[in-house]
Each structure stands twice: as C-alpha cells, then as structure tokens.
Amino acid sequence: MNRKILYIEDNEQNLYLVRYLLEKSGYEVVEAKDGPAGIAAAVAERPALILLDIQLPGMDGYAVARKLREQPAVVRIPIVAVTSYAMVGDRERALEAGCTWYIEKPINPETFLSQIELHLTAGGTAS
C-alpha cells in the first residue's frame, strides 16, 4: 500500500509538526514549500494523499488545487486542504477549487491521523 503523503506548506513549524505526526505512524512524507513545487512533486511522487495549505506565497492553495485537478496523472489523488477558520467561505472555496476535504487550523494531534486516514481509504489507491 502507498503510504506516501505530500504536504504543501511554507511554514517550517507546521511542516515539522505534521511530518512528525505522520512519520510516527509510519507514513512517508514528501514536502513542498510552494504551489509550483507541490504540483511538480505530486506528478513525480504520486502520493496517496495531498495535504494542502491555503495560505501559500505566490500561488495560493486554491490555485494549486485547481491546477492539480487539471493534471490527468494526479486527478484521482485526494486533496485535504488545511484551512484557516478565520475567513468566511474559506472551506466552501477549498471544496469548489477541487479539494476532497478540509481540516481547520490549528490541527488537533489527537484526531488528525484519523481524519487523514478517512480520506486515504475513501480516496482509493492512487498509484
């Protein structure tokens, strides 16, 4: 089974936090610090799931999700947006842009893994 997860995020601490949580549970984490790098990594690595931060420098998360949905090679990989609750309509916009689900910041380490796993199985095997 593919246990590779791509995390597109520019904040070092968030990267470290999520990588730590996932690696402890036996996942392999691929990191990308901006949109274009994330898209390239998705195509090259074919992860089982993509975690996508919305507040990215330059190309924002919505744009990244839309681009990913245009690539036939990765179109079936589930994307979970990591959004901020602060802005009205953020989650709706994430789903509209092509995300499969969303997790609100700050993440809860106790429930984070179960939330991820829900979409790993639901998203099917993309490899």
Partner 1 sequence: MNYLARFIASRIPPGAAARYCALLSPLVIVVLLATLSEAATRAVTVGIYENAPKVFTSDSGQPSGIFVDIIEDIAKKEGWRLRYVPGTWAEGLDRLAKGDIDLMPDVAYTAEREKIYSFHKEPVLTVWSQVYAPKGSGIQSILDLNGKRVAALEQTIQLETFRRLAASFELNITLIPVPDYKTEFEMLRAGKADAGLTNRFYGLMYARTYGLEDTPVMFDPAPFFFAASRNASRELPDVIDRRLIELKQDPQSAYYASMKRWTAEEVQLKLPSWVKVIGLALGGLVVLVLFLVIGRQHAAEAALRKEKTFAETIIDSVPGAFYVIDARGRLVRWNRYLAKLNDLHPDELTGMDSLRNIHDQDKESIARSISDAFAVGEAEAEARIRTSEGERTFLFTGRRIDAEGTPLVVGSGIEITSRKRAEQELLRYQGHLEELVERRTITLQETNVKLQREIEERSRAQSELRAALVDLADAKERAEAADRLKSAFLATMSHELRTPLNSIIGFTGILRQGLPGPLNEEQKKQMEMVQNSADHLLALINDVLDISKIEARQLQVASAPFDLRTSILRSVQTVRPLAEKKGLDLSVEVAPEIGVIMSDQRRVEQIALNLLSNAIKYTEAGSVRLTCAVHDGSILTTVEDTGIGIKNEDLRRIFTPFTQVESGLTRRYEGTGLGLSICKRLVELLGGTIRAESDVGKGSRFSFTLPIPERTS
Residues that bind partner 1 (CB under 8 A): 11, 13-14, 17, 20-21, 24, 54-55, 57, 59-61, 63, 84-88, 105-110
Residue number, 20 or 75, with CB nearest to partner 1: 20
CB of 97 to partner 1, least distance (A): 12
CB of 14 to partner 1, least distance (A): 6
Residue number, 45 or 60, with CB nearest to partner 1: 60
CA distance 49 to 94: 16
CB of 121 to partner 1, least distance (A): 22
Residue number, 85 or 124, with CB nearest to partner 1: 85
Phi/psi of residue 83, each to 5°?
A: -110, 165
